[in-house]
Structure 1
Amino acid sequence: MKIAIVTETFLPSTDGVVTRLTQAIKYFRSKGHEVLVIAPDLGVEDYEGAKVIGIKPITLPFYRYRPFTLPTAKVKELLENFEPDIVHAANPILLAASAVHYAKKLDFPLIATYHTHIPKYLDYYWAYKPAKPILWRHIKKLHNAADLNLCTSEAIKQELIEKEIQNLHVLQRGVDIHHRNPRYANEKMRNRLTRGDKSKTLLIFIGRLAIEKEIHKIKPLLESRDDITLAIIGDGPARKELQHTFSGTNTVFTGFMHGEELSQAFASADAFVFPSVTETLGLVILEAMASGLPVVAAKSGPTMEQIKDEETGLLFENENVDSMIQAVSKLENKALMELMKQKARIEAEKYAWEKASQQLLDYYYQTIEKHNNLQNMVAN
């Protein structure tokens, strides 16, 4: 099969969308499929034998941390030359919106995936919040042009249905259970993240440092408990602001980590803290669980789909400091901690990337069949 993936973000960027796409591409290539990736030009030309064609990006005024590529007719030329069996528009808003437009124009089967809850993010950028209804109309139009749509959780599926987006299915989550593994626990890494204070309970947050991630909500916990250290791993537009916010607390900022170093950071902590309620899933939750960590998370539809309270993690009420402090206090129960670590790992083992990537491939075939049947109906 010839697969064209048009995405708003790709390597070397690091986020849940990129992780899912790279794992899928790796799997598709192992099965002998030909893959073309069209993405913002960030210097990557090949991934696992898939050709990556970059299109010149720009920096948008409201989000200068990451470059984006605007819709362009170049996508039409690339799709015509490649002649794909299916076009996958990943999170169509800008560049991937071109994939929607030209896949329809050129009559290629089209699947679209909803990964990033951008309309929700606008709630955290007051100057752009009034544009939220316009953005939803744009998203609805793009996704309803696809033969089939995928999202990443049942909670988001229900929200998209309420927005009248059609032909929706939930794509199974996945995790690299080999490289996110308790065996990577490392004393040197733990010393680095706690500044050598072995008496502290180590919580970690890993992800993009942006307002919508709501990392600031963790600060009251640190102010109430001097026996806890927080390691914030990642980078982003809100880093300087967060460093100022957490000044005077037991907080370590490391910047980005990758590869084995990141695996060690995951496995060397006591628990993972996840304060955001804006995620469509939060693949990092499953990465933490695969590393043998209980996840302390604010309640939201997607987090409650992944975490069983006092089994694989601890849930607290969003925007409720007392609830968060109470949840974290349960980490002092050593028997409960050990049980959650074991159950978190067992749960994560159900979601190896191979299964999720095969499911995506199955949806590709389903999309092609649906598209062809519709064309035959029209022809007859």
Structure 2
Amino acid sequence: MAQAEEARAPLLLDEEAGGEWSSRPRRIALFVEPSPFAYISGYKNRFQNFIKHLREMGDEVLVVTTHKGAPEEFHGAKVIGSWSFPCPLYQNVPLSLALSPRIFSEVNKFKPDIIHATSPGIMVIGALAIAKMISVPMVMSYHTHLPAYIPRYNLNWLLEPTWSFIRCLHRAADLTLVPSVAIAEDFETAKVVPANRIRLWNKGVDSESFHTKYRRHEMRVRLSGGEPEKPLIIHVGRFGREKNLDFLKRVMERLPGSRIAFVGDGPYRAELEKLFTGMPAVFTGMLQGEELSQAYASADVFAMPSESETLGQVVLESMASGVPVVAARAGGIPDIIPKDKEGKTSFLFTPGDLDECVRKIEQLLKSKDLRESVGKAAREEMEKCDWRAASRKIRNEHYSTAMSYWRKKMGKT
């Protein structure tokens, strides 16, 4: 246990804020792929809030992203859409190299103090090239755990090449941000980068947009297929084969009299709807804004079978809505529901253990008092997860650390 804590220490270490960095407005270029404005993903809210708070702190921000659905500006940040193409293995994911003369000219003219790119992907390669050409520090944040996806697509032969690609990318960065301790540990095991070059991007949730106050009878009628009195389970997210959503069919077969609502969309949706034919399931498609807030708050339990989440933003949003979660104990989800909070703020089950999952969902569905007490504790816990504080830590501490590493590498200290 002591060894595990020691291994985590560099990740959670508080750096000096770096007075020079934090004392004046900075110019930050973000390369985000796919788009945080159009693509359905867990980091959509993460990056939208990050951009907003950087602007509130007085920084100039330039966002380079895939072209589809990209606005001209967002909270005063200029947005540049780069021509994209579908990922050969995942057609719904747009990719872009973002290395055209137009993109280079815009970034060079912007004169960023630092470049921050998402990983893994193709755009990060363009961001790396531009960072080298204009000689600025490079930060990468890791958001899609491809090595966890590969087995679900029976492509195990791609596992080591994928890790090699991830190593190649992140060793070229000055600092790597990860969304959970679990991912940091995977990076350490796979020898991606040294532990002192990894920092945690603290979790955050908009606890005003996701709140118990949005519970609505009309939404519950819609989600339950006209049977609002029945116990109601919900799942919100992007529907992909890697999300293990077929597991929920086996769960529902063990919960007669209950209903399930799927909110979201994705490449696996048609197959998932076919799988649930004849079962008490509703597919709403994508919901946004207040409709999404109402959907979360109007259910009884949120079910999360995915074993490949780098964090699990939808888990945070459900808990903020006062709805208990039953989730697989995998990926970044134990960062949200740590061992000492299990059974208090939500529940975890051993991945693949149908009996344990069903037992914990049943426990919540059968006891309104338990649902309400766990939901209240979940809500209180999420009120501590502040996007503004998480953004400030990256801007003042982690970017400062990246700058320090870059200066040493360039012989500028």
Tell me if TM exceeds 0.5: yes
Q: Deviations over 1:112-156 (max 9, x none)?
A: 111110222122222x43222112111111111111111011111
Equivalent in 297, 313, 316 of residue 283 of structure 1: 313
User: Does the aligned pair in 1 maintain the 2:120–2:144 contact within 8 Å?
Assistant: no
Mapping 1:149-298, distance limit 5 Å: 149-166=176-193, 167-298=197-328
Count of matched residue pairs: 377
Q: Is the 8 A contact 2:301 2:361 kept in 1?
A: no
Partner of 2:362: 329
Q: 1:12 aligns with which of 17, 38, 41?
A: 38
Q: Deviations over 1:216-255 (max 9, x none)?
A: 1011121122221110000010111000111111110000
Tell me whether 1:95 sits opposite 2:123 in the alignment: yes
Aligned residue number for residue 169 of structure 2: 142
Quote the offset at 1:200 in angstroms: 1.2
Amino acid at match of 1:315: L
Identity of aligned residues (%): 36
CA-CA distance at 1:207 after TM superposition:
0.5
CA shift, 1:43, in A, is: 3.3
Q: Aligned letter for 2:38?
A: P
Which residue identity is paired with 2:53?
A: Y
Is the counterpart of residue 2 in structure 1 residue 16 in structure 2? no
Give the structure 2 partner of residue 341 of structure 1.
375
1-side partners of 2:371 and 2:192: how far apart?
41
Report what 1:366 is aligned to. 401
TM-score normalized with structure 1 length = 0.95
360 and 250 in structure 1: CA distance in 2 versus 1, 3 angstrom threshold: same
What secondary structure sits across from 2:183 in the alignment?
helix
Q: How far apart in 2 are the matches of 1:369 and 1:99? A: 19
* 1:36-59 CA-partner distances (Å, limit 9, x unpaired): 111110132211111111111112
Task: Indicate the larger mover: 366-375 or 107-116.
Answer: 366-375
The 8 Å contact of residues 327 and 347 in structure 2, kept in 1 or not, is answered as yes
User: Following the alignment from structure 1 to structure 2, what is the Cα–Cα distance between the partners of residues 144 and 113?
Assistant: 13
| Letter in structure 1 aligned against 2:383 | E
Distance in 2 separating the partners of 1:15 and 1:61: 18
Counterpart mapping for 1:26-41 below 5 A: 26-41=52-67
The residue identity in structure 2 corresponding to 1:369 is: S
| C-alpha distance in 1 between matches for 2:186 and 2:371 | 34
Deviation at 1:164, TM superposition (A): 1.5
Separation of aligned partners in 1, 2:69 and 2:372: 44
* Cα distance in 1 for residues equivalent to 2:167 and 2:130: 17
Query: Superposition RMSD on alpha carbons, in Å?
Result: 1.5
Shift of 1:71: 5.6
Question: Does structure 2 retain, via aligned residues, the 8 Å contact 1:92–1:100?
Answer: no
Report the alpha carbon displacement of residue 169 of structure 1 after superposing the two structures with TM.
1.1
Give the conservation status (yes or no) of the 8 Å contact 1:267–1:292.
yes
Q: In the aligned structure 2, how far is the partner of 1:17 from the partner of 1:240?
A: 24
Q: Distance in 2 between matches of 1:50 and 1:137?
A: 34
What's the TM-score, normalizing by structure 2? Answer: 0.88
**Aligned position for 2:144:** 116
**Structure 1 spans left out of the alignment, 5+ residues:** none
Q: CA deviation at 1:60?
A: 2.6
Task: Look up the match of 2:85.
Answer: 58
Q: Deviations over 1:160-188 (max 9, x none)?
A: 11122221111100000110000000110
**Which AA in structure 1 matches 2:28?**
I
